Amino acid sequence: MAVRKNQATLTSTEKRAFVNALLALKRSGRYDSFVTTHNEFITSDSDNGDRVGHRSPSFLPWHRRFLIQFEEALQSVDSSVTLPYWDWTDDRTAASSMWAPDFLGGTGRSLDGQVITGPFAASSGNWPINVRVDGRSFLRRSLGGGGRPLPTRAEVDSVLAMPTYDTAPWNSASDGFRNHLEGWRGVNLHNRVHVWIGGQMGTGVSPNDPVFWLHHCFIDKLWADWQRRHPDSGYLPTGGTPNVVDLHDTMRPWNDVSPQDMLDHTAHYTYDTAA
Amino acid sequence: MSDISRRRVLRGAAIAVAGVAMAAPAAIAAQSAVAGAGGSGHPTGHGDHTRPEAFDEVYRGRRIQGMPIPVEGRGHTGRTGHSPHMAHEGPGYAVFVDGEELHVMRNADSSWISVVNHYETFRTPRALARAAVDELQGAVLVPMA
């Protein structure tokens, strides 16, 4: 069984294998297809219309399936690789080893936000930003530049304590666990981390930054942690909801997988720690 | 005019005057005026949304414009033409940076996001447009369509 690990515990060999698999997917063009898919969903998911990947109950199962697909692509390059997760309540500064040159590289320079260290720096020639919303073709970041700190463990725990998965109107105005985790309401967890990183991570083409996968892997783990804390709480809604993916509806773009199919991650991978 | 042909016209106009940054917003403003003649100026957004007023200013050396537009037939046709889910309404409002349209979306609580600030909400389209200029650092937007 594949085990997804905290990135802080990876060996240098594991980091190298992960980075090399990312670079191989990038070279082949497969990486950019994931960026394109994400951008298509994030720009079309709307509060008053059809919504699948974001601002809706299926935010969590959609990203779980998206990450599994991406992890399978990595494993087609190197079968030893699994997605690591970034616990941003713990590794919460730009001085974290995650941002070191042997892993993701650091923040961007002040002039233009360009990342200049690590394997994804534009100067490496290995990480062109092809799927983009503006003219810049280099990876950018501004770690902590927005001014607001990363969420704390206490803030995460306050969201994990919410017993209801999601509530009507099933969008960015909802109460409940999903929307508080996503961040449109309340203390703001997932959205705030995108903003904290800045650069492409703040945009619709956020998977251009490899940290996207580590961030969403932790969000995915928090969903698993929540399920263990609330074994009697299930995915909602369970049927007949316009514009929204109900429990047994299939999700685009795969059309053969439902939220129900994604509830138990242990069929695909486990995490290195229990909740 | 159909949505696709309208967008083609707008795109062509925008390219024709590259750098002048006037034609696309002007064309949409004209459309909006026509629609307004029938709509009598009442808010046409869904729910209890009212559409913000137009704005036009130079911010940090770049022209930012925002204006209400006809909701009908807009959606995201130009962006994801292969997708079957384009029937929903667009935001009923368009924002431009130097004449290039910025993809924007309105949240249920009436706040706004754009494709360059997609995880951070803004109270008004003008604040969103200014944030986009800050984020772009002089870069040009890629055409939406």
Q: Rounded mean pLDDT of chain B?
A: 71
pLDDT at A244: 98
- Residues near B100 by beta carbon (within 8 Å), at least 6 away in sequence: B14, B21, B24, B140, B141, B143, B144
Average pLDDT (A127-145) is 97
Does A219 reside within a domain? yes
Average pLDDT (A106-114) is 97
What does each C-alpha distance from A258 to A60, A239, B89 come to in angstroms? 11, 12, 26
What does each C-alpha distance from B47 to B67, B89, B103, B130, B144 come to in angstroms? 19, 12, 21, 27, 26
pLDDT(A195) > 70: yes
pTM above 0.90, yes or no: no
Average pLDDT (A246-250) is 98
DSSP, res B112:
E
pLDDT cut 90: percent of chain A above it = 98
Mutate to test the interface with A, among B77, B103, B119 (most CBs of A within 10 A): B119
A138-188 pLDDT, tens per residue? Answer: 999 999 998 899 999 999 999 999 999 999 999 999 999 999 999 999 999
B25-59 pLDDT, tens per residue? Answer: 666 655 555 444 433 334 444 444 578 999 999 99
CB contact under 8 A, B89 and A192: no
Tokens of A145: 């530049």
A36-45 pLDDT, tens per residue? Answer: 999 999 999 9
What is the domain count for chain A?
1
- In 10 A of CB B55, how many CB atoms? 14
Q: For residue A28, what is the domain's CATH number?
A: 1.10.1280.10
pLDDT(A269) > 60: yes
pLDDT at B18: 39
**Residue A81 is part of which domain span?**
2-90+151-188+206-271
- B→A interface, C-beta within 8 Å: 46-47, 76, 79-80, 83, 85-89, 103, 105-109, 115-121, 135-137, 139-142
Does A95 reside within a domain? no
Min mean pLDDT across A208-212, B23-27, B119-123 is at B23-27
* B67 or B72, which is more confident: B67
Q: Domain locations in chain B? A: 1-39, 55-136
CB contact under 8 A, B109 and A136: no
Spell out which residues of chain B touch residue A183, defining contact as CB-CB under 8 Å.
119
CATH class of domain segment(s) B55-136: alpha beta
- Residues near A192 by beta carbon (within 8 Å), at least 6 away in sequence: A148, A150, A151, A183, B119
CB contact under 8 A, B79 and A135: no
Secondary element (H or E) of residue A271? strand A270-271
Min mean pLDDT across A69-73, B6-10, B92-96, B135-139 is at B6-10
Which alpha helices (DSSP H) does A78-173 contain, by range? Answer: 153-160
Average pLDDT (B106-129) is 97
Spell out which residues of chain A touch residue B89, defining contact as CB-CB under 8 Å.
48-49
CB contact under 8 A, B137 and A112: yes
pLDDT band, very low/low/confident/very high, at A28 (cuts 50, 70, 90): very high
pLDDT(B68) > 80: yes
Spell out which residues of chain B touch residue A243, defining contact as CB-CB under 8 Å.
88
